[in-house]
Structure 1
Amino acid sequence: MFRTLLEGLADYAACDDAARTDLLNDRMHACFAACGLGRLAVSGDSVVVNIRGTLREDSTATPAGVTLGASSFSIHVPALVVAGDGYDELRTILAAYDLHGDGAHVWIIPDGFMASLSPVEDIWEAEGGGYFSHESMCVLNTSARPTRCTLEVFFEDASRAPFTHAFEVAAHQSSHYRLDKLRADDGSPLIPKDCPVSYKITSFDTPVVVQGSRILTSGRGSEFGSFGTAMAWTPV
């Protein structure tokens, strides 16, 4: 990564700082995003890079020419020594931060619907057999911090009021939720069957990634089934 950055600085040496900043951000965007980095700014012989994370209190020594900040690091280019492609130096820097993780804070699944089981399917499910019609939601937290989340459910039926269900996802954890298994305090299903709904998932402390899935089945032991899955949509 640092090798690519140094090559870019050399390529744009004839440009002023503002132009070099724009050109390098365009050149490094995909690489930076994959590494948890944001934008950079060039000022003379120095480059400041935003990092999507928070400096750890126990941060260790950094490569020569690099100074760590709370949510950024600065590079004094003449003092930077790079071996190979520079990813070893980058890994040393990233290890000093608790990264905020991948994804976004708000996700939407507009199309939700769970079909009722037939009377005989209810019996089979109670007996522990089969894998019957339901919807599920996967929430992935790749950050080093746990996060508080809410699931908001909105109804097509105007007579039904939206409701919110709170949950948490631990750091570096993937959590899966069978939406047909969510229960109110009185034991009744939180999300009714045969009722078109939409879902909004909000993560308050870290970005997350959300995926929704639906399975429709029929037949004893759910011999016949169809499965669909889709990434949720995020406005960010």
Structure 2
Amino acid sequence: MFRMLLDGLADYAICGDRDKADLLNDRMRACFAACGLGRLAVSGDNIVINVRGTLREDSAATPPGVTLGASSIRVYAPALHVDGDGYDQLNAILAAYDLDGDGAHVWIIPDGFMASLSPVEEIWEGEGGGYFSHESMCVLNTSARPTRCTLEVFFEDPERDPFTHAFDVAAHQSSHYRLDKLKADDGSPLIPKDCPVSYKITSLDTPVVVQGSRILTSGRGSEFGSFGTAMGWTPA
């Protein structure tokens, strides 16, 4: 990737620094994102590039603001300053960061609905098993940091107030969150059946990926079943 960056700097050598940066950011946007990098700025032979992550506290070999060896790389918490011969070491330097995960901090799923259970499904639910109607959220955290998430539930019924529920997702882990299992202190469901709702999930510590799914069963003995899934919308 950094050889491509050097080639790009050479390709656009005729341009001014600002145009050079714009062209490189456009050309390498996907590659930067895959490596945990943001946008870069160019000043002569120097670049400053944002790192989407945090510098690890145990990175003794790369303390903030220190030039490494003979190369000219200065490592800061949010960014790298690269001068001249430092490009070949950039991959190694990035290992000093806990990079942000894939996805976004905010996800919205506007369509939520859990149908009432049939008599058979009620038996299954009481026994703790069975294939019955419910919704769930899958939250994937690909970063090296755990994250605190909030689930906000909004109701179509104006008589119902929205509520917020918090949960954690560990680093490098996915969480499949059953929404029919959310209970109030008295044991009643926080999300009633046959009640149209919308969901907003916010990850406070790192971007995540959110997918919503719905299982709907119906008919005598719940012999008809369907499964639907949708990626959430994100403003990112």
TM-score by length of 1: 0.90
The residue aligned with 1:86 is none
Q: How many residues align?
A: 229
The residue aligned with 2:56 is 56
Q: CA deviation at 1:179?
A: 0.5
The residue aligned with 2:19 is 19
Q: Does structure 1 retain, via aligned residues, the 8 Å contact 2:213–2:228?
A: yes
TM-score by length of 2: 0.90
Partner-residue secondary structure (3-state), 1:137:
strand
CA distance in 2 between counterparts of 1:124 and 1:56 reads: 47
The residue aligned with 1:31 is 31
Q: CA deviation at 1:143?
A: 2.0
Mapping of residues 124-203 of structure 1, within 5 Å: 124-203=124-203
Q: Does structure 2 retain, via aligned residues, the 8 Å contact 1:121–1:220?
A: no
Q: Does structure 1 retain, via aligned residues, the 8 Å contact 2:120–2:221?
A: no
CA distance in 2 between counterparts of 1:102 and 1:216 reads: 30
CA distance in 2 between counterparts of 1:203 and 1:102 reads: 12
Q: Does 1:45 align with 2:41?
A: no
**Aligned match for 1:65, one of 53, 72, 87:** 72
The residue aligned with 1:74 is 81
CA distance in 2 between counterparts of 1:215 and 1:138 reads: 14
- Cα RMSD, aligned residues only: 1.9
Q: Deviations over 1:121-151 (max 9, x none)?
A: 2123334552111000011122222222211
Q: Which runs of 5+ in 1 are unaligned?
A: 83-88
Large movers: runs of 4+ above 4 Å: 219-223
Percentage identity across paired residues of the two chains: 79
Q: CA deviation at 1:172?
A: 1.9
Q: Which runs of 5+ in 2 are unaligned?
A: 63-67
CA distance in 1 between counterparts of 2:173 and 2:80 reads: 28
CA distance in 2 between counterparts of 1:184 and 1:206 reads: 28
CA distance in 1 between counterparts of 2:115 and 2:5 reads: 54
